[in-house]
Structure 1
Amino acid sequence: MAKVKNPLVKPFLKWAGGKRQLLGYINEYKPREFKKYIEPFVGGGAVFLNLQHKNTIINDFNTELINAYEVVRDNVEELIKLLEFHNNENSSDHYYELRDWDRSDLINKKNNIEKAARFIYLNKTGFNGLFRVNSQNQFNVPYGRYKKPNIVNEEILRVVSTYLNTNKVKILSGDFEEATKSARKGDFIYFDPPYAPLVEDSKNFVGYTLNGFGYEEQVRLRNLFKKLDQRGCYLMMSNSSTDIIHELYAEYAETTVKVGANRSVNSKGDGRGKVDEVIVMNYSYHDM
């Protein structure tokens, strides 16, 4: 009997580049059966929260993001109370007051619940739900001026907390390669790295972490993909459909699918709308 999934277990964050619109493809092409599920670039969590697999590892280099997942798991009621406070205080002044925590030592004096509430509040009220930091690792997204931002989504926060607590979900914060160390034959790993830029030059290879995610990181990811392939894992990766990505994954061309996706966050108008993305696999999805 197929497992019944809870439709309310879904992302509690807005996330640029989130995978909600690719979920149909991912569900169609994923392996029918697998042991452990690993997501080394979890972001807003659309995929793992949709799969709701019992034995899951999620990881992200963004420590603020991972802290938010841990607080939702461990302290959801305290988090909701703080979000209600921020909701009542919501204004441009309140936003910039909280944003400035990392421009002083104030953020180091806050506990993890306060940090998570700040992170979620800034995410829901900042421009386009972006997470972006400057060269000093300071959050620098401007206020979004939404009429009714969904700051306190109690129902979703509680059901996600229940899912994280009633299933074997391991939450990590670190390098994507480190997150796959426990991967074994029969495990399913989905990679959603910062995408290769549509305009292919080095200055555009920038991720959402302070260190960015350049060409060398894309090569390192491809090398890991090949290593895990040899280990017998089921692998899937989404990325932009660029010459660089097609060259890096040329040996997986027969199990690469091109899909259209809406890209809503781009500084240039011609980067919005339908763009081609690829889903690369190391197995024949026709056999799944």
Structure 2
Amino acid sequence: MAQKNPFVSPILKWVGGKRQLMGEIAQLLPRDLSKRLYCEPFVGGGAVLCHLQPKKAIICDLNEELINVYQVVRDHPDELIASLSSHENTPEYFYQVRSLDRDPLFEQVSSIERASRIIYLNKTCYNGLFRVNRSGEFNSPFGYYKSPNIVNEPGIYALSRYFRENDIEMVASDYEAVLSRDLPEKTFVYIDPPYHPLSETSNFTGYVQGGWNEEAQRRLKDVCDSLTERGIRFMQSNSSAEFIRDLYQDYTISSVRATRSINSVGSSRGAVEELIIRNYE
């Protein structure tokens, strides 16, 4: 791994972020991780990436706006910070910015302004919940925070430097497009998909259009089986649902406790059991 910079940390708040679980995850990583290509096909807020800071990695997400944020952080940190500094923390302004993706001219908005919009909405929306509707439009409400950290200048510069000084490929696509590549056997894949719900009311799949169901989880299991057959090591995080336990019964499964602070229902926040699934000891 590269020399770690303590200022490299997630710049977005993300549902299911792994920052608080890094102690448990780190203990279960392959010992020779520094010799492997790191691949994260559901990068989300990037907590694991920021903790590990590999020199060579492929990060992927189906959310094109998210990948654009990382590309802009890498290539245009000064312009991004200037744009973020222009935002206002008022409900009227928030809903004006939120509505931009309803406008047919949104496609003409620059990549820098789009990245600035996503970070601003993430920092000021209710509970930091990145959520889109079936049309792919951001629909989280205003959060009414007094002093949100919209301009995380040290964090943006540190992450930008990390991206530029290392070989980090950024891909906006379905996870299978990346994992079906001819990856070297010395690859480690960390998989953090939408979790299978513990109940019918706990499901959350609002990062991108569409959703995840049992069929989607089985498709991912098939891809994990393919990685195993190719000799590629993977670690997956998922919920402790009995369906997931049964699906991966032939793999090594560890249980961990995670405190979840992002949920639209206050009573659903708190310590919950999650699973870490591996195809290695």
**Which of the five TM-score ranges fits, normalised by the shorter chain?**
over 0.9
Quote the Cα distance in structure 2 between the aligned partners of 1:64 and 1:178: 18
Q: Is the 8 A contact 1:38 1:190 kept in 2?
A: yes
Query: What corresponds to 1:46 in structure 2?
Result: 47
Query: What corresponds to 1:60 in structure 2?
Result: 61
Which has the larger share of helix?
1
> SS state of the match for residue 237, structure 1?
strand
Quote the Cα distance in structure 2 between the aligned partners of 1:192 and 1:240: 10
Quote the Cα distance in structure 2 between the aligned partners of 1:260 and 1:91: 36
Length, aligned pairs only: 278
Query: What corresponds to 2:228 in structure 1?
Result: 229
Query: What corresponds to 2:97 in structure 1?
Result: 98
Query: What corresponds to 1:80 in structure 2?
Result: 81
Alignment pair present for 1:184 and 2:181: no
Quote the Cα distance in structure 2 between the aligned partners of 1:3 and 1:152: 26
Flag structure 1 segments of 5+ consecutive residues without an equivalent.
none
> SS state of the match for residue 73, structure 1?
helix
Query: What corresponds to 2:37 in structure 1?
Result: 36
Quote the Cα distance in structure 2 between the aligned partners of 1:65 and 1:38: 17
Cα displacement (A) at 1:3: 5.1
Paired amino acid for 2:189: I
Question: For each residue in 1:96-147, what CA deviation from the matched residue of structure 2 results, as whole angstroms up to 9, or x when unmatched?
Answer: 1100101122322211001000010000001111111112221110000111
> SS state of the match for residue 137, structure 2?
coil
Question: For each residue in 1:44-64, what CA deviation from the matched residue of structure 2 results, as whole angstroms up to 9, or x when unmatched?
Answer: 000011111001000000000
Paired amino acid for 1:280: I
Quote the Cα distance in structure 1 between the aligned partners of 2:219 and 2:64: 21
Query: What corresponds to 1:138 in structure 2?
Result: 137
> SS state of the match for residue 85, structure 1?
coil
Query: What corresponds to 1:261 in structure 2?
Result: 258
Quote the Cα distance in structure 2 between the aligned partners of 1:207 and 1:105: 22
- Greater Cα offset, 267-276 or 38-47: 267-276
Quote the Cα distance in structure 2 between the aligned partners of 1:175 and 1:216: 15
Question: For each residue in 1:194-249, what CA deviation from the matched residue of structure 2 results, as whole angstroms up to 9, or x when unmatched?
Answer: 00001158x94735211112211110111111110111111100000010100110
- Give the TM-score normalised by the residue count of structure 2: 0.95
Cα displacement (A) at 1:36: 0.2
Paired amino acid for 1:37: Y
Q: Is the 8 A contact 1:205 1:215 kept in 2?
A: no
Quote the Cα distance in structure 1 between the aligned partners of 2:43 and 2:248: 21
What percentage of residue pairs aligned between the two structures are identical?
49
Query: What corresponds to 2:24 in structure 1?
Result: 25
* 1:175-254 correspondence to structure 2 within 5 Å: 175-180=174-179, 181-199=181-199, 204=203, 206-252=205-251
Flag structure 2 segments of 5+ consecutive residues without an equivalent.
none
Quote the Cα distance in structure 1 between the aligned partners of 2:182 and 2:19: 27
Cα displacement (A) at 1:16: 1.4
Quote the Cα distance in structure 1 between the aligned partners of 2:228 and 2:143: 43
Query: What corresponds to 1:275 in structure 2?
Result: 272
Q: Is the 8 A contact 1:194 1:207 kept in 2?
A: no
Paired amino acid for 1:183: L
Quote the Cα distance in structure 2 between the aligned partners of 1:200 and 1:251: 26
Query: What corresponds to 1:149 in structure 2?
Result: 148
Q: Is the 8 A contact 2:234 2:279 kept in 1?
A: yes
- Greater Cα offset, 64-73 or 133-142: 133-142
Structure 1 residues 50 and 204 mapped into 2: Cα distance closer, same or farther (>3 Å)?
Answer: closer
Query: What corresponds to 2:9 in structure 1?
Result: 10
Quote the Cα distance in structure 1 between the aligned partners of 2:217 and 2:255: 18
Quote the Cα distance in structure 2 between the aligned partners of 1:116 and 1:269: 29
Paired amino acid for 2:275: V
Q: How large is the Cα RMSD of the aligned pairs? A: 1.6
Quote the Cα distance in structure 2 between the aligned partners of 1:107 and 1:132: 18
Cα displacement (A) at 1:268: 3.6
